[in-house]
Amino acid sequence: MSNPNMSPAEKAKAFDMAQLEMEYRVDLYNAMTASCFAKCMDTRYKEGDLNVGENSCVDRCAAKYWQVTGIVGQMLGGMQQQQPR
């Protein structure tokens, strides 16, 4: 990412873009966590650890969440490339 030939303005822009990407990823992770928790966890905690059903549900939920996020990202990327600049 850091190129010695980049101007200070280009470096600042690259840093800002990386920071926005990190914030997006954290928000995405938090949304996935909240969604999968609401879907998979019993509101009455009976055990200290996840049981087999909860563990399986969380695993499937997270996998589907990332899969759908990837598909949506590809679709949005394709739409962005088709738009005239």
| Local confidence pLDDT in tens for the 85 residues of the chain | 557 788 889 989 999 999 999 999 999 999 999 999 999 998 888 888 999 999 999 999 999 999 999 999 899 888 777 776 6
Q: Are 54 and 40 in contact (CB under 8 A)?
A: yes
User: How many CB atoms neighbour CB 36 within 10 A?
Assistant: 19
Contact 85, 55 (CB under 8 A): no
**And the tokens for 7?**
């101007």
- pLDDT in the model for residue 40: 94
The pLDDT of residue 54 is 94
Separation of alpha carbons 63 and 59, rounded Å: 6
**pLDDT at residue 82 in the model:** 77
Q: How far apart are CA 62 and CA 13, in angstroms?
A: 32
Q: Which CATH architecture has domain 8-42+50-80?
A: Orthogonal Bundle (1.10)
- Domain spans of the chain? 8-42+50-80
Determine the pLDDT at residue 85: 60
pTM over 0.75: no
